[in-house]
């Protein structure tokens, strides 16, 4: 649903970007995925240990990372001026809560498969939430959330556009397609809140750089920790899969590089990313019909 709302002939927000923006409104969906060790193999994505453990690392990020995003937005709900921004902010909170809950379910599978994940999760939480969240201001945490959402939209776009998820096992495929489609849907929610409450360019970029420094290094560190537990760190196939994932097939490095410099542009807005059709295609599929709330 797209809408541009006016009041008394004037748009409701003094920010020129928000004034001219066509808003995409979205619901909160409530899926109930059912995972089990018996139906999920160790390397559930394309038979590749490397690709699977990149995704598994993100699964370890998401529950507490999504709750951080929720906290960073909730602090500003009382002062958001534009009701359209507020509407999408509340939907964002609902979607992120669902993501946290569904991904947390998969932790048990990893532990049942013998992976030791708690040490990495505790390190990630200590760095991000016991240190960075404590020392950063509310607006800095909000700008870090907006920057992180740029990356979650990016990886969602890569996953859906390259169809790498088509090679995942069924229930994991549904989980990641649903999550990816919603990341694309709400890609601008945190960014719009930042615009509404007066976040300037330098604050936006500082938060983005903080998100970059945390997200990408810990992604690859987490994957290597899981590969080490598999005993596959130095296998030729593992390193070839890594090279192909980063530079050849999914081309993650080149997509990241382009996305990084796009975000640095003073006039950047997430809605400039042409990926919404990928999200719509997922939710038109019969296997992605879910109970919805406003």
pLDDT per residue, tens digit, the chain (294 aa), is 444 443 333 445 578 888 888 999 999 999 989 888 788 999 999 999 999 999 999 999 999 999 999 999 999 999 999 999 999 999 999 999 999 999 999 999 999 999 999 999 999 999 999 888 999 999 999 999 999 999 999 999 999 999 999 999 999 999 999 999 999 999 999 999 999 998 899 999 999 999 999 999 999 999 999 999 999 999 999 999 999 999 999 999 999 999 999 999 999 999 999 999 999 999 999 999 999 986
Instruction: Name the nearest CA neighbour of 190 among 139, 259, 132, 264.
Output: 139
233 burial via Cβ count (<10 Å: 0-12, 13-18, 19+): middle
CA dihedral for 83, 84, 89, 92, sign (positive or negative): positive
Inter-CA distances, 109 with 35, 57, 138, 231, Å: 8, 13, 35, 19
Plot region of 274 (φ>0 → left; ψ -120 to 50 → alpha; else → beta): beta
Any idea what the Cα angle at residue 194 is, between residues 192 and 199, rounded to 5°?
135
pTM of the model: 0.94
Predicted confidence at residue 113, as pLDDT, reads: 95
Provide the CB-side half-sphere exposure for 173 (13 A, CA): 15
Q: How many helices (H) and strands (E) does the chain have?
A: 12, 6
Helix then strand then coil, % of the chain, to nearest 5: 70, 5, 25
Give the 3-state secondary structure of residue 6. Answer: strand
| Cβ atoms of residues 140 and 206 within 8 Å | yes
Predicted confidence at residue 9, as pLDDT, reads: 38
Predicted confidence at residue 36, as pLDDT, reads: 82
Torsion of CA 169, 170, 171, 172, to 10 degrees: 40
Instruction: Name the nearest CA neighbour of 52 among 120, 110, 116, 105.
Output: 110
Instruction: Name the nearest CA neighbour of 211 among 145, 259, 258.
Output: 145
């Amino acid at each position: 649903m797209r809408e541009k709302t006016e009041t008394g002939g004037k748009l409701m927000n003094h920010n020129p970007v928000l004034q001219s923006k066509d808003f995409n409104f979205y619901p909160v969906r409530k899926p109930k995925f059912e995972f089990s060790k018996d139906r999920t193999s160790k390397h559930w994505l394309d038979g590749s240990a490397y690709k699977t453990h990149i995704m598994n690392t993100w699964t370890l990020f998401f529950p507490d990372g999504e709750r951080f995003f929720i906290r960073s937005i909730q602090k500003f709900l009382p002062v958001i001026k534009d009701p359209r921004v507020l509407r999408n902010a509340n939907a964002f909170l609902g979607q992120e809560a669902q993501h946290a809950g569904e991904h947390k379910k998969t932790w048990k599978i990893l532990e049942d498969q013998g992976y030791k994940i708690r040490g990495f999760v505790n390190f990630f939480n200590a760095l991000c939430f016991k240190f960075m969240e404590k020392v950063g201001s509310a607006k800095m945490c909000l700008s870090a959330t907006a920057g992180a959402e740029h990356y979650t939209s990016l990886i969602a776009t890569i996953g859906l556009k390259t169809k790498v998820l088509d090679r995942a096992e069924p229930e994991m495929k549904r989980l990641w397609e649903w999550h990816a489609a919603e990341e694309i849907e709400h890609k601008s929610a945190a960014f719009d809140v930042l615009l509404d409450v007066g976040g300037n360019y330098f604050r936006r970029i500082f938060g983005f750089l903080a998100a970059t420094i945390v997200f990408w290094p810990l992604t690859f560190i987490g994957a290597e920790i899981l590969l080490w537990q598999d005993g596959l760190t130095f296998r030729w196939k593992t390193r070839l899969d890594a090279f192909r994932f980063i530079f050849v097939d999914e081309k993650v490095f080149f997509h990241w590089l382009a996305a990084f410099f796009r975000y640095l542009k003073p006039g950047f807005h997430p809605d400039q990313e042409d990926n919404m059709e990928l999200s719509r295609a997922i939710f038109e599929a019969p296997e992605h019909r879910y109970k919805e709330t406003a």
